[in-house]
């Protein structure tokens, strides 16, 4: 992982796993993640004819970079342009394949092409062990180093 805070969150998430199962939402304690809270998100899988992801929590750093408050909204309410397929694949990896994922994309859908979003998505399960939520961390970097790293990064399993 490129961003140290993402390694910190990943290690915390793994520490909450019991008997090889993924953690539940109840296992994740915000008080234990105070430093990371501005960059965290929690998305809920809402079942239906077409499953959707609803943002239950979006840290203040996400609002600052996205320019809108996304808490309470569905991800598919936003036009992600040519990144739509990318994000669909990322969430399929986490929810359907049941694997953590990470990657990096430029913030072009949000009119900030020189800023790169380094993201991490981790599955959370219900008491029956079914993935029902996604814990996320997003770091936003503007630099030549970020540009160089972003040009080499692909959707990766954590």
pLDDT single digits (tens) 15-49: 998 888 899 999 999 889 999 999 999 999 998 77
Look at residue 85 and tell me if it is in a domain.
yes
Structure tokens at 25: 């939402």
pTM of the entire predicted model:
0.85
Mean pLDDT of 99-106: 90
Residue-number span of the structural domain to which 140 is assigned: 4-15+39-157
As for how many domains the chain has, the answer is 1
Look at residue 32 and tell me if it is in a domain.
no
Look at residue 50 and tell me if it is in a domain.
yes
Q: Residues 4, 141: contact at Cβ < 8 Å? A: no
| pLDDT at residue 158 is higher than 80 | no
Question: At 152, which CATH number?
Answer: 3.30.450.20
Which residues neighbour 88 within 8 Å (Cβ) at sequence distance 6 or greater?
none
| pLDDT at residue 73 is higher than 60 | yes
Look at residue 26 and tell me if it is in a domain.
no
């Amino acid at each position: 992982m490129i961003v140290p805070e993402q390694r910190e969150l990943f290690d915390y998430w793994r520490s909450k796993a019991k008997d090889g199962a993924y953690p539940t939402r109840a296992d994740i304690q915000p008080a234990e993640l105070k430093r990371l809270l501005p960059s965290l998100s929690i998305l809920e899988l809402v079942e239906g004819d077409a499953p959707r992801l609803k943002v239950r929590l979006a840290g203040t750093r996400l609002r600052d970079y996205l320019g809108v408050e996304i808490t309470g909204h569905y991800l598919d309410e936003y036009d992600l342009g040519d990144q739509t397929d990318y994000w669909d694949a990322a969430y399929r990896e986490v929810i359907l394949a049941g694997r953590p994922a990470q990657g990096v994309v430029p913030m072009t859908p949000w009119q900030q092409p020189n800023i790169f979003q380094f993201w991490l998505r981790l599955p959370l399960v219900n008491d029956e062990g079914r993935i029902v939520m996604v814990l996320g961390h997003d770091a936003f970097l503007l630099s030549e180093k970020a540009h160089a790293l972003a040009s080499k990064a692909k959707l990766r399993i954590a």
